[in-house]
Amino acid sequence: MRKDKKLILLKELLLTDDRALIGALNLKINTLESIIEQREKLSQKVDPLIDLKLQEYTNDIPKKLGPMITESLKNEILKSKNQVVDALYPIIGKMIKKYIQQEFKILSDKINHQLKKRFSIASFLRLFKSKFMGVDEESLMLQELAKTAIQEIFIIEKKSGLLKANFSKTTTIDKEVISAMLTAIKSFVEEAFITGEEHLEAIEYGLYNIHIQNFESYYIAVVIHGVYDTIYKSKLKSKLLDFSANNISNTTNTNLAEKLAEVFKNGII
Partner 1 sequence: MVSSKKVVLLGHFGVGKSSIIRKFVNNEFSSDYKVSIGVHILKKEVQLSNNDSVSIIIWDMEGTDSLTLINKVYLLGTHSFIYVYDVTRPLTFKSLSQDIISLKTRFPTSLIKTVGNKVDLLTDIEKEKHQVLFKINDYLSSAKTGENIEQLFQDIAIELKH
Nearer to partner 1, 68 or 173 (CB): 173
Nearer to partner 1, 176 or 229 (CB): 176
Q: Element (H or E) spanning 44, and its range? A: helix 2-60
Q: Of 260, 246, 254, nearest to 154 (Cα)?
A: 260
Chain contacts with partner 1 (rule: CB under 8 A): 157-163, 173-174, 176-177, 180-181, 184-185, 187-188, 190-191
Question: Residue 178's CB: how many other CB atoms inside 10 A?
Answer: 20
Percent of residues in the chain assigned helix, strand, coil, to nearest 5: 70, 15, 20
Nearer to partner 1, 17 or 191 (CB): 191
| Pair 153, 144: CB distance under 8 Å | no
Q: How far is the CB of 104 from partner 1 (least distance, A)?
A: 36
Nearer to partner 1, 161 or 226 (CB): 161
Nearer to partner 1, 125 or 177 (CB): 177
Q: How far is the CB of 184 from partner 1 (least distance, A)?
A: 5
Q: How far is the CB of 259 from partner 1 (least distance, A)?
A: 19
Q: Element (H or E) spanning 162, and its range? A: none
Q: How far is the CB of 253 from partner 1 (least distance, A)?
A: 10
CB contact set of 5 (below 8 Å; sequence gap of 6+): none
Q: How far is the CB of 152 from partner 1 (least distance, A)?
A: 16
Q: How far is CA 34 from the centre of its chain?
A: 61
Nearer to partner 1, 221 or 236 (CB): 221
From the number of C-beta atoms within 10 Å of its C-beta (0-12, 13-18, 19+), residue 135 rates as middle
Q: Of 147, 150, 145, 120, nearest to 222 (Cα)?
A: 150
Q: How far is the CB of 166 from partner 1 (least distance, A)?
A: 12
